[in-house]
Chains A and B, each alone.
Chain A
Amino acid sequence: MSQPAPFVDALRATPLPASGIEWLDALRRENLDAFVAAGLPETRMEAWKYTALRALGQRRFVAGDAQAATHAVDSAIFALPGVDGPRLVFVNGVFRADLSALDTLPAGLTLQPLSQALRQDAEPLRFVLSRNEAEPGDAFVRLNAAFAADGVVLKLAAGAKPVAPVHLVFLGAPAEGELAWHLRNLVELGEGAELTLVEHHATSGEQQHLATVVNDIVLRDGAVLRQVVLQQAATGSSLVRRSKLQLGKQAQATAHVLELGGALARHDLRAELAGDGARFATRGVFMPRGRQHIDTQLAIRHRALNTASDSVWRGVADQRGRGVFRGAILVAPGADGGDASLSNKNLLLSPSAEIDTKPELEIHADEVKAAHGATVGQLDERALFYLRSRGIPLAEARALLTAAFCRAVLDDLPNAALREHLAALLAVELPA
């Protein structure tokens, strides 16, 4: 048990959203109680070893932004080349129909805000919302379950393959106080369905809010999900996310992830390869600069025959930036014929930067191919001199090498316009 903290006190005093749905209100109460009882995770917990929440625990966040529905937002903030399909936009956790694009949905796609889905018919969501999967240390999942009153409900019918990507935009905007806002996203791809999904965290003005986002993603047999996550939250904000993917037989998911923003950004990405032949690939870059703290926890569980996972992550830390990466792969008993590889290479660009990386591989099955490795290093002095000896100035040479270091992460992103945009974005964001 942890000592009472202002953070927990403030939330305990915050009224829960009232849905008028009995089971949902009870569920929220139950999760709030569990959260209050456990408090924030502490660094003696393995999953939080390198991410101390003491400072966060001293802060009081308020709920509800009266202006969330009316903040003026420039749509250029979230415009992305190659991403021009249906769009759902949330500002400080509140759905904004005026910024969204839901008028012409492709055949087979159901896409609406959770608040609306709950109002229409909450019962179909009861099972998935009630599923309690909080593990020790999952305080934020509890918190999210207690307070999330909105989010995304996306359902793609079996066999549907809309071409245009679906764009989910989560914006933070300045408000009266420091807000805590929470969103719960439910995504389900039917058998053989295919979708590109862009999860986009951005900011419409500097603020220091706390956001929690919980993604629950299910891929039925043979479904294909191409996920792109662009995290550019405000540099003062805290963002805690948990994504859980469940993959059926022959289902395939890829996730390209750019973690760039936030003062504190934590992402737990969990994939359950539950069906035979399921495949999961992640490509990611995290780039803490200034005093940013970016923590990525990847957990991949191979639970069926002939499943494959492949993870390539790059960390670049500059100034006093701190990066944390944990890549845990489990090949469960009976999940024979698995193929799991994980690589995490990291670059420290300043003596005060730090990256803690920990690959973990646990194999309980036969005929498994597994490879994992992690490194932390600096820019290659020989390569720097080589570039400079050809006339390229030091700052440009450093940027060139850093960009090259991250290149592998975007190489296999099929959406060329988006890939080029993200590559250019990386080049701009890269510390020189």
Chain B
Amino acid sequence: MLRIENLHARVEGKEILKGLTLTVNPGEVHAIMGPNGAGKSTLGNVLSGRDGYEVTAGTVSFNGIDLLALEPEARAAAGVFLAFQYPVEIPGVNNTYFLRAALNAQRKARGEKELDSMQFLKLVREKLKVMQISDELLHRAVNEGFSGGEKKRNEIFQMAVLEPTLAILDETDSGLDIDALKQVAQGVNAQRSPERSFLVVTHYQRLLDYIEPDFVHVLADGRIVESGDKTLALKLEEHGYAWVREHGEPAGATA
């Protein structure tokens, strides 16, 4: 589904990703861990097409298409979703209106029929149940005045409505207390399916107690330096990221 090969990317002239290679198959959950400054957020931003991230080498193929050639909105329509580390507040834009505009823009781009307001409302009601979000949030402006937990839940709620095939969660656990974290994780787990893949970018192992990954990768200095199953996350938790640097070679064998 997603094949990243030898990806190099620069931000403000500084090389952040230095040859990242990763393959994600349908239905898999991959956790990307790493110390601050390793390039974790850069990966999410490059994949979703944010301005200011310059790809200098490498390729990203998503279901056979060249993802990097697409505008951000086309990537979304192709099935890529980024849950932001810092969801943006947009005063004056109603949350429901925004979400319907987004869904219909994607449907239109895919040549599907747009949903009318009744159909959309029905869909939203179904998804609200899953996310345990009060419908009061729907009537407010996008993320405006939301608590940290509400913002993150709103991200996952958007994901539920937009139904991407690849969801990138960028430090979704940051700034959440344990209850909010559990709720968010529950929302994510409810959306796991054989067709949907996840890239879970996180600094801490904590989130992975609730969203169980199939694979864990350690990103350091712009490259994946270690890959393994979920036990790798526990090792990191125990030994810290310095351990990876000393340890060097692929994990698994040395446990």
Q: Which residues of A contact B81 (CB under 8 A)?
A: 389-390
Within 8 A of A (CB), among B118-156: 141-142
Smallest CB separation, A427 vs chain B (Å): 12
User: Are the C-beta atoms of A389 and B90 separated by less than 8 Å?
Assistant: no
* Given A381-B51, A385-B51, A385-B72, A391-B105 contact (CB < 8 Å): yes
Distance to closest chain A CB from B240 (angstroms): 32
Number of interface residues of B (CB under 8 A): 31
Residues of chain B in range 10-27 having any CB-CB distance to chain A below 8 Å: none
Whole-angstrom distance between the Cβ of B46 and the nearest chain A Cβ: 12
Q: Is B91 an interface residue (CB 8 A)?
A: yes
Q: Establish whether residues A389 and B82, one from each chain, have CB atoms under 8 Å apart when the complex forms.
A: yes
A386 within 8 A of B: yes
Whether A401 lies near B93 (C-beta < 8 A) is yes
- Chain B residues, Cβ within 8 Å of A380: 88, 90
Q: Is A408 an interface residue (CB 8 A)?
A: yes
The answer to the question of A403 belonging to the interface, with a C-beta cut-off of 8 Å to chain B, is yes
State whether the Cβ of A377 lies closer than 8 Å to any Cβ in chain B.
no
Q: Does B241 interact with chain A (Cβ within 8 Å)?
A: no
Residue of A nearest to B159 (CB): A390
Are the CB atoms of A394 and B73 closer together than 8 Å? Answer: yes
Report yes or no: A401 in contact with B106, Cβ–Cβ below 8 A.
no
A37 / chain B contacts, CB cutoff of 8 Å: none
Contacts of A382 in B (CB 8 A): 88
B90 interface neighbour in A386, A388, A408, Cβ under 8 Å: A386
B105 touches A392 (CB 8 A): yes
- CB contacts (< 8 Å) of A80 on chain B: these are none
User: Quick check: which of B1-9, B61-69, B95-103 contacts chain A, the rest being far away?
Assistant: B95-103
Q: How far is the CB of A161 from chain B (nearest CB, A)?
A: 33
Within 8 A of B (CB), among A370-387: 380-383, 385-387
B169 on the interface (CB 8 Å rule)? Answer: no
Closest Cβ of chain B to A347, distance in Å, is: 12
Specify which of B72, B73, B92, B103 is in contact with A405 (CB 8 Å cutoff). B92
Q: Are A396 and B101 in contact (CB under 8 A)?
A: yes
Which of A382, A388, A407 counts the most chain B CB atoms within 10 A? A388
* Interface secondary structure of A, over-half rule: helix
Residue of A at shortest CB range from B97?
A: A400
> Knowing A389-B82, A390-B76, A391-B76 touch, does A383 contact B90 (C-beta < 8 A)?
yes
Contact yes or no, A393 B105, CB < 8 A? yes
Pair A407/B92 contact, Cβ less than 8 Å: yes
Chain A 33-74 near chain B by CB (<8 Å), digits 1 or 0: 000000000000000000000000000000000000000000
Known contacts A396-B101, A404-B90; is A390 also within 8 Å of B162 by CB? Answer: yes
Q: B225: which A residues are within 8 A, CB to CB?
A: none
Q: Which residues of A lie under 8 Å from residue B102 when comparing CB positions?
A: 387, 390-392
Do A391 and B109 touch (CB < 8 A)?
yes
- B71 touching A388 by the CB < 8 A rule? yes
Q: How far is the CB of B143 from chain A (nearest CB, A)?
A: 9
B158 A390 Cβ-Cβ under 8 A: yes
Find out whether the CB atom of A387 lies under 8 angstroms from the CB atom of B98. Answer: yes
Is the beta-carbon distance between A400 and B101 smaller than 8 angstroms? yes
Min CB gap B164→A, angstroms: 10
Assess the B87–A386 pair: CB atoms within 8 A: yes
User: Is the pair B92, A392 in contact by a Cβ cutoff of 8 Å?
Assistant: no
**Cβ B88 vs Cβ A383 within 8 A:** yes
Contacts of A393 in B (CB 8 A): 71, 73, 105
Complex contact B87–A391 (CB within 8 A):
no
Given contact pairs A391-B106, A392-B102, A392-B105, A386 touches B88 in the complex (Cβ within 8 A): yes
Q: Residue of A at shortest CB range from B75?
A: A389
Residue interface bits B74-92, CB-to-A below 8 A is 1, else 0: 0111000110100110111
If A389-B48, A391-B76, A404-B91 touch, whether A396 touches B82 (CB-CB below 8 Å) is no
CA A206 – CA B84 in complex, angstroms? 48
B31-55: CB near A (< 8 Å → 1, else 0) gives 0000000000000000011110000
Query: Which A residues are CB-close (under 8 A) to B105?
Result: 390-393, 396
How distant is the Cα of A124 from the Cα of B5 in the complex, in angstroms? 86
A404→B92 contact, CB < 8 A: yes
Residue of A nearest to B45 (CB): A385
Q: Quick check: B109 and A385 within 8 Å, CB to CB?
A: no
Residue of A nearest to B72 (CB): A388
**Complex-state Cα separation, A396 to B76, whole angstroms:** 15
A185 CB to nearest chain B CB (Å): 34
List of B residues within 8 angstroms of A381 by Cβ? 51
Mark interface residues in A344-383 (1 if CB within 8 Å of B CB, else 0): 0000000000000000000000000000000000001111
With contact pairs A400-B93, A401-B90 given, residues A392 and B101 touching in the complex (Cβ less than 8 Å): yes
Contact of B50 among A385, A394, A396, A403 (CB under 8 A): A385
Closest residue of chain B to A381 (Cβ to Cβ) is: B51
B155 to chain A, nearest CB (A): 10
List A residues 385-432 near B (Cβ within 8 Å): 385-394, 396-397, 400-401, 403-405, 407-408
Q: Which residue of A lies closest to B93 (CB)?
A: A404
For residue A125, give the distance in angstroms from its CB to the closest CB of chain B.
Answer: 45
A391 x B92 contact (CB < 8 A): no
A residues in contact with B98, CB < 8 Å: 387, 390, 392, 400
Q: Which residue of B lies closest to A406 (CB)?
A: B92
**CB neighbours of B76 from chain A (8 A):** 388-391
Residues B225-248 near A (CB distance < 8 A) = none
Residues of A within 8 A of B101 (CB): 392, 396, 400
Beta-carbon nearest neighbor of B48 in chain A: A389
Q: How far is the CB of B163 from chain A (nearest CB, A)?
A: 11
Beta-carbon contact of B50 and A391 below 8 Å:
no
CB-CB contacts of A174-214 with B at 8 A, as 1s and 0s? 00000000000000000000000000000000000000000
Cα–Cα distance between A371 and B227 once the two chains are bound (Å): 57
Residues of chain A lying within 8 A (CB to CB) of residue B141: 404
Sample of 9 A–B contacts (CB below 8 Å)? A385-B72, A386-B90, A388-B49, A389-B48, A392-B73, A392-B101, A396-B101, A401-B93, A404-B90
> 16 other contacts beyond A387-B90, A391-B109, with CB at 8 A cut-off?
A381-B51, A385-B50, A385-B51, A386-B84, A386-B87, A387-B102, A388-B72, A389-B48, A390-B81, A390-B98, A390-B158, A390-B162, A391-B102, A396-B105, A400-B98, A404-B90
Q: Which A-B residue pairs are the 9 nearest by beta carbons?
A: A404-B92, A391-B76, A391-B106, A390-B102, A388-B72, A386-B88, A407-B92, A404-B93, A391-B105
